[in-house]
Amino acid sequence: MSHVLGQVEDLREQCREALAKIGSLAALQEERVRFLGKKGEITRLLRMLGTLSPEERPRVGSTVNELRDEMEMAFEAAKMRLEVLEAEKEEERGRLDVTLPCRGRGWGSFHPVVQVMHEVIDVFLGLGYSVALGPEIEDDFHNFEALNIPSYHPARDMQDTFYVEGNRLLRTHTSPVQVRSMLRWGAPLRIICPGKVFRRDSDPTHSPMFHQLEGLLVDRDVSIADLKGSLEAFAKAMFGPEVKARYRASYFPFTEPSMEMDVSCVACGGKNPSCRICKGSGWLEISGLGMVHPNVLRAGGIDPTVYNGFAWGMGLDRIALLKYDVRDLRFFFDGDVTFLSRGGMR
């Protein structure tokens, strides 16, 4: 009997030492299995009872059971202690000091195309123009008929229009705003018309939704020289005083005569035959322009025998491509915040 009771005391001491060293719930579970499991030390002692005399068994059995109860209580107390410690560690890892200043978020900025739009508008405001706006969903009269583009005119094929219900359409240019402005205010008139326009087109240099800015000046004795003066003042303000301009004959149904305006390459100045911007030509097209067709003046309620005028139109997205040296127009509309917030686009 004495050798069994001696093992009981040894086992009690081993359990105390083990519990004192345990630092995690996983280790605690391993020690619980070692001492109290089905094949543990307490079970081993209980099996030794069979080697004792009937008189000795009750006393030794009671001692072993007391040790088992003591161990279970000690393990439960250790479990509670370790749970508290691990909860404190977890809380420390996720601790939030509400007294610290917040990290905040980066400042937002205007979209690059909107930045360019504001810059262009500021230039023409300085030249005495006013801003006029109009609806993006238009009717056939303002978008085509009033601009000398009847239903049989081949120029309608150039527009590739999005039609909506009720014989209405998404405007293909901001020229309808010019018509509405003439009908509302008459002459003399000096306006610019910025805004979104829509056409069935999509590739690296075209988008089904893009931005235009068109201008209109109607007064007495207006000349092409006045038109060139306005546009060359814009080009120098936007691309620098060294930029040069040239004009090529073209055709638009709403102007006569019609031209296109090129500026010297903003990347190479026309000096690099391998320039990827101008393809070695030294020139970049930025605008279509011309003297307002008499039929357009009549549609706007203005007498072409008394007044004449000029108009032009330019793609703001294209101006942004050139200004920020971007190769693919689609970058502007993909929603990539890193690209849109990069240096030079703030």
Based on the fold, state whether residues 136 and 36 are members of the same structural domain. Answer: no
- For residues 35 and 71, give the distance between their C-alpha atoms in angstroms, rounded to a whole number: 8
- For residues 16 and 259, give the distance between their C-alpha atoms in angstroms, rounded to a whole number: 99
Based on the fold, state whether residues 281 and 248 are members of the same structural domain. Answer: yes
Based on the fold, state whether residues 199 and 276 are members of the same structural domain. Answer: yes
The upper half-sphere exposure of residue 23, i.e. CA atoms within 13 Å in the direction of its Cβ, equals 2
**Residue where a domain stops, chosen among 93, 127, 146:** 93
Environment class of 305 (CB within 10 Å of its CB; exposed 0-12, middle 13-18, buried 19+): exposed
What the block records as the tokens of 213 is: 């800015």
**Residue where a domain stops, chosen among 34, 64, 93:** 93
Any domain includes 157 = yes
- In order along its 346 residues, the chain shows pLDDT tens digits of 556 677 777 888 888 888 888 888 888 888 888 888 888 877 777 777 767 777 777 776 777 788 788 888 888 888 898 888 888 888 888 887 888 887 776 666 788 888 899 999 999 999 999 999 999 999 999 999 999 988 887 767 666 788 888 889 999 999 999 999 999 999 999 999 999 999 877 665 567 888 999 999 999 999 999 999 999 999 999 888 888 999 999 999 999 999 999 998 877 776 777 777 777 788 888 999 999 999 999 999 999 999 999 999 999 988 888 888 777 777 777 777 777 766 445 4
Examine residue 257 and say whether the peptide bond preceding it is cis (omega within 30 degrees of 0): yes
Q: What is the pLDDT of residue 14?
A: 83
Based on the fold, state whether residues 36 and 148 are members of the same structural domain. Answer: no
Based on the fold, state whether residues 223 and 120 are members of the same structural domain. Answer: yes
Based on the fold, state whether residues 275 and 193 are members of the same structural domain. Answer: yes
Is residue 71 classed as helix, strand or coil in its secondary structure?
Answer: helix
Based on the fold, state whether residues 301 and 257 are members of the same structural domain. Answer: yes
Global pTM reads 0.65
- For residues 183 and 300, give the distance between their C-alpha atoms in angstroms, rounded to a whole number: 5
Selection from 319, 334, 316 nearest residue 174 by Cα: 316
Any domain includes 215 = yes
Based on the fold, state whether residues 84 and 159 are members of the same structural domain. Answer: no
- For residues 321 and 205, give the distance between their C-alpha atoms in angstroms, rounded to a whole number: 9
Any domain includes 150 = yes
Based on the fold, state whether residues 84 and 118 are members of the same structural domain. Answer: no
Any domain includes 236 = yes
Q: List all residues 6 or more positions away from 100 whose beta carbon is below 8 Å from its beta carbon.
A: none
Any domain includes 99 = no
Q: What is the pLDDT of residue 13?
A: 82
Which CATH number is 308's domain given?
3.30.930.10
Which range of residues forms the domain containing residue 33?
2-93
Q: Where are the beta strands (DSSP E) in the chain?
A: 130-131, 137-139, 163-164, 168-170, 189-198, 209-219, 245-252, 255-264, 283-292, 308-315
Based on the fold, state whether residues 172 and 252 are members of the same structural domain. Answer: yes
Q: Where are the beta strands (DSSP E) in 72-208?
A: 130-131, 137-139, 163-164, 168-170, 189-198
Q: List all residues 6 or more positions away from 72 whose beta carbon is below 8 Å from its beta carbon.
A: 36
CB atoms closer than 10 angstroms to residue 116: 24
Any domain includes 50 = yes
Based on the fold, state whether residues 125 and 79 are members of the same structural domain. Answer: no
Q: What is the pLDDT of residue 337?
A: 75
Any domain includes 101 = no
Cross-sheet strand order for the sheet of 163-164: 137-139, 168-170, 163-164
Q: How many domains does the chain have?
A: 2
**Residue where a domain stops, chosen among 62, 93, 124:** 93
**Residue 293 DSSP one-character state:** P
Three-state SS annotation for 136-149: CEEEHHHHCHHHCC
Based on the fold, state whether residues 20 and 118 are members of the same structural domain. Answer: no
